[in-house]
Chains A and B, each alone.
Chain A
Amino acid sequence: MHTKTLTELKAGLANRDFSSRELTEHFLARIQQYDGDLNSFVTVTDTQALAQADAADAAIAAGKAGLLTGLPIAHKDIFCTEGVRTSCGSKMLDNFIAPYTATVVEKMAAEGAVMLGKTNMDEFAMGSSNETSYYGPVKNPWDLERVPGGSSGGAAACLGARLAPGATGTDTGGSIRQPAALNNITGLKPTYGRVSRWGMIAFASSLDQAGPMAQSAEDCALMLQAMAGHDHRDSTSLNEKVGDYLGALKDDISGLTIGIPEEFFPDTLDGAIADNSRDAIRELEKLGAKVVSVSLPSIKLSVPAYYVIAPAEASANLSRFDGVRFGHRCDDPQDLEDLYKRSRSEGFGDEVKRRILVGAYALSAGYYDAYYRRAQQVRRLIRDDFARAFEKVDVLMGPTAPETAFKLGAKKDDPVSMYMADVFTIGVNLAGLPALSMPTGFINGLPTGTQIIGNYFREGQILNVAHKYQQATDWHKQAPAFGGAQ
């Protein structure tokens, strides 16, 4: 059962080939058996999962199945889930049991999804290797000595190893797409504002966006259909009609214009990565797409702009973790200042502290104009670049990540090289556009992915393009040897 896609499992449940309980028990057993090596889950919620599975079976029996009824889903541990620990990968929230549930989780539960548990992640979503988690690094199922990418590393790894058929992720600078590429799965970052941020612990509020991760574009369409929508509790959630993502999969892509930003294929890029993405684009040409070259001149500034804006927002977002109301509190504080200093020093890891410091610095009197304001100006330039490109093309394509999964610890002491892992994904967050990463082959036995970027609210079109590619190829069906995933 675990090799099947969500779409296939949904059909199997409808056809009564198996029950949701059987399905859920199967995945829980796999997590039990293999996650010790992978470390992709922080919390497994077996009891609740089985109760939800039984309710799903009853709903199916009663002919009242929703979009996701009975399908096991793993939620990134950044989403608040009532009564269940929500750690955000941090010691700071190791003791935090959320008193409410995130909109994304709520909407998927309303469509009948079964929650398997909460997946491991970089601490507060800050990282590209899942090595900053308080709960230890997640391993890549394709090579246990390598990282799964991050920050949604647990989600990507558990999908790659087929410990879950679908997972939620969040993407601030590439945190869905980069791990998707490194684990041979499909992941979509929707348009900023398409999916509610209520209940999703904030890293960088103007960039954070939740999205689906699964084996195929078709599965992502199914999940997004349940996740998307306006939420009055999130002021940045957009009141735009939710598309028919599943319906859009059938659209013909002949005549589609694909733009290739030259900046996504710099001379310094690993030739194998470049070739891999060019091959994927050629495959779409065979399906009738046209290819043109475009330029996004300001995109080279996206990494520096991002590493001002994201830490600046994070420095304020993380101020609420002060040891006063929830989360980690140091033992025996001597006074208020001691309480703050020790609670935060003990509760946060190095990367989080680094970003808080960078962000606070960028916002300081005398530096604001040089850093924060300048970064916002760059952000506008990047947005304008994309807008100009989309006057000529339907989608933009290029590699998702500049390299395949690297060895655990390889970049631990080199934050800048780590930050470059998101060089191709960050611009999309700064512009607020939707983008998907899909598996497009292997380099030295390690998966690699290609990114499809669409215009605002064109998730349907991106999923359509990826789905057509996946109908013509089988890269996305490849699974690692680990854990009998094949």
Chain B
Amino acid sequence: MSWEVVIGLEVHVQLNTASKLFSGSKLSTGAEPNTQASLVDLGLPGTLPVVNREAVRKAALFGLAINADICRHSVFERKNYFYPDLPKGYQTTQLAEPIVGAGVVEIQLESGEKKNVRIHHAHLEEDAGKSLHEDFHGMTGIDLNRAGTPLIEVVSEPDMANAEEAVTFARKLHAIVTSIGICDGDMSQGNMRFDVNISVRKPGEPLGTRTETKNLNSFRFMEKAIALEVERQIDVLEDGGEIVQETRLYNGDTHTARSMRSKEDANDYRYFPCPDLLPVAITDADIEELKAAMPELPDSRKARFINDYQLSEYDADLLSGSIATAAFFEAAAKAGGDAKLAANWVMGELAAKLNAEEKDIAGSPVSAEQLGQLIARLKDGTISSKIAKQVFEACWAGEGNPDDIIEAKGLKQMSDTGELEKIVDDIIANNAAQVDDYRNSDDAKKKKKIGFFVGQAMKATQGKANPQQLNKLLQEKLQ
């Protein structure tokens, strides 16, 4: 009998506010250690937190985006534990009364099947600093620049049954938080971090013991880590063993995981409401204001793409999934004047190239405007699709705008019928045998055999012949 996999996710989403959750320090990546840490961030005696309303607003906006209840009086609590990069000896977070209550996120799988993943809640909390274990000769350095960075932790119900569902859900969350502009979504900077709770069971049986694999920071690692852990659990159970409730760490470089701590080592965090902070009040008016300001969500963007650009559901889903991709597509479609071509290029050539070079669409060497220009030239027949690929490569390599490249390299399609006619006449005159062969063939064979003449013409024009014109001309002359 096969195994059933049960997966739940806890996702840390870093909010892109100007300052930290409880202090006025700037959020910054790459600053010199401890240069973005104020008296409050250092946990100096006598300092007090003041909640950042912008972080509250962004957390509530997320709640509205997943149709969740927004808590009108959410409460910050202290989670007590000692760690060198946790300056106060407690993390200020939410537990009993989180800002975002139960909600739901719809995902669409590759098969086209749709599924709802329920959100248990999402809460606001501050991030810790970083411990630096290198360069200190057996000691540990502490960098508190990150301490106090606002996060929302999104906790799902255990509604996912395999890695595909989990990754699709994670991507959808990424699409939502970037679409509503509350998170920059840069995975390489840890803007989103995933903890995956996994258990397996035989169908119909109660939930199995779960493990938690922490701090996965890419969709790819997440997929691999889930596969690895599912396989491990099944192996253990099939060998008659038991799953131990534990926290595991996945190493993406070696594709291995190890136990970090078991339930027995778990801290008693002694949560209690933080007496330095009042409950965070959100009024009906605040909610109305947020609803009115809600940016377009991935689902409605997808519907719009289908409707406005006549894209297929599959194309629309792919293109609306990330706000950066969607924005790129729309800009290219607009500049190029052809949405279908833009969609094909963004999902085809561009995606392949980005993938191959492990680049983000935001860092694409070919801009949306450049791609649009390329599409426009393709559409008006200035270049053929074969030449377009050549132009794209040159543009990717930084050789300039498509128009300049076409001009500089003389890649314009030969659309002057007189010139093309002369070339075709020459080919027919110089290849009498092939002409006879063609003329004696039936229609089906003719279709194949015309390729020879097309090839010759393309060779003679260095690919610049307009294929439609050429075909027409050849067919006429070979009659």
What's the dominant secondary structure at chain A's contact region? loop
Given known pairs A99-B39, A100-B39, A336-B84, the reply for A316 and B48 (CB within 8 Å) is: no
Cα distance, A283 to B48, chains bound together (Å): 43
A122 proximal to B (CB < 8 A): no
Most buried by B among A99, A236, A322: A322
Bound CA span A80–B278, Å: 24
Contact in complex: A312, B272 (CB < 8 Å): yes
User: Which residues of chain B come closer than 8 Å to A235, judged between CB atoms?
Assistant: 48-51, 276-278
- B45 near A320: Cβ-Cβ < 8 Å: yes
Known: A197-B48, A198-B48, A340-B82. A325 touches B276 (CB 8 A): no
Residues of B within 8 A of A86 (CB): 45-46
> Which residues of chain B are within 8 angstroms of A198 by Cβ–Cβ distance?
46-48
Chain B interface size, as a band, is: 20 to 34
**Residues in chain A near residue B410, CB distance under 8 A:** none
Q: Could you give, for residues 29-51 of chain B, a 1 whenever the CB lies within 8 Å of some chain A CB and a 0 otherwise?
A: 00000000001001111111111
Residues of B within 8 A of A206 (CB): 275
Residue of B nearest to A96 (CB): B45
Q: A235-B278, A340-B82 are in contact. Are A80 and B48 (CB under 8 A)?
A: no
> Is there contact, CB below 8 Å, between A319 and B82?
yes
Does A416 lie at the interface of the complex (its beta carbon under 8 Å from any beta carbon of B)? no
* A338 lies within 8 A of chain B by Cβ: no
Q: List CB contacts (< 8 Å) of B252-294 with chain A.
A: 268, 270-272, 275-278
Specify which chain B residues have a CB less than 8 angstroms from the CB of A232 in the assembled complex.
50
CB distance from A73 to the nearest CB of B (A): 18
Q: Main secondary structure on chain B at its contact with chain A?
A: loop
Report which of A79, A93, A319, A364 forms a contact with B268, defined as CB distance below 8 A: A364
B129 to chain A, nearest CB (A): 10
Asked if A201 is an interface residue, CB under 8 A from chain B, the answer is: yes
Residues of A within 8 A of B146 (CB): none
B78 at the interface (CB under 8 A from A): yes
The answer to whether A320 touches B89 (Cβ under 8 A) is yes
Find chain A residues with CB under 8 A from B51 CB. Answer: 235
Inter-chain contact A319/B277, CB cutoff 8 Å: no
Of the residues B44, B50, B90, B272, contact of A233 by C-beta under 8 Å:
B50
Q: Given the interface contacts A99-B39, A319-B89, does A363 sit within 8 Å of B46 by beta carbon?
A: no
A201 close to B48 (CB less than 8 A): no
Asked if A99 contacts B272 (CB within 8 A), the reply is no
A window 180-232: CB within 8 A of B: 197-202, 204-206, 232
Please count how many residues in chain A sit with their CB below 8 Å of the partner chain's CB atoms: 44
Query: In the complex, what residues of B have CB within 8 A of residue A102's CB?
Result: 46
Please give, as numbers and ranges, the residues of chain B lying within 8 Å of A51 by CB-CB distance.
Answer: none
A207 to B, closest residue via Cβ: B275
- B45 A93 Cβ-Cβ under 8 A: yes
Q: Is A234 an interface residue (CB 8 A)?
A: yes
Bound form: Cα–Cα A335–B408 in Å: 67
- List the B side residues contacting A93 at CB < 8 Å: 45
Bound: A102/B88 CA distance, A = 19
When chains A and B are docked, how far (Å) is the Cα of A97 from the Cα of B47? 14
CA distance A234 to B42 in the complex (A): 17
Q: How far is the CA of A372 from the CA of B89 in the complex (A)?
A: 20
A324 to B43, CA, bound (A): 11
Q: Please, how many angstroms separate the alpha-carbon atoms of A197 and B428 in the complex?
A: 96
Tell me if B80 counts as interface (CB < 8 A to partner A): yes
| Cα separation A206 to B274 with both chains bound (whole Å) | 9
Chain A residues in 8 Å Cβ range of B49: 235
CB–CB A319/B88 < 8 A: yes
The 5 closest A-B pairs by CB, nearest first: A319-B89, A206-B275, A363-B270, A205-B275, A199-B46
Show 12 residue pairs from A and B whose CB-CB distance is below 8 angstroms, ordered by the A residue: A79-B46, A206-B275, A234-B48, A235-B49, A236-B278, A315-B270, A319-B82, A319-B90, A325-B142, A326-B44, A363-B271, A364-B268
Taking Cβ atoms with an 8 Å cutoff, the residues of B that contact A are 39, 42-51, 78, 80, 82, 84, 87-90, 142, 268, 270-272, 275-278
A contact residues vs B (CB 8 Å cutoff): 79-80, 86, 88, 93, 96, 98-100, 102, 197-202, 204-206, 232-236, 312-313, 315-316, 318-322, 324-326, 336, 340, 360, 363-365, 368, 372
Other than the given A80-B44, A202-B46, A236-B278, 20 more pairs (CB < 8 A) read A98-B45, A204-B275, A205-B276, A235-B51, A236-B48, A236-B275, A312-B272, A313-B275, A316-B80, A316-B88, A316-B270, A320-B44, A320-B45, A322-B82, A325-B43, A326-B45, A336-B84, A363-B272, A364-B268, A364-B270
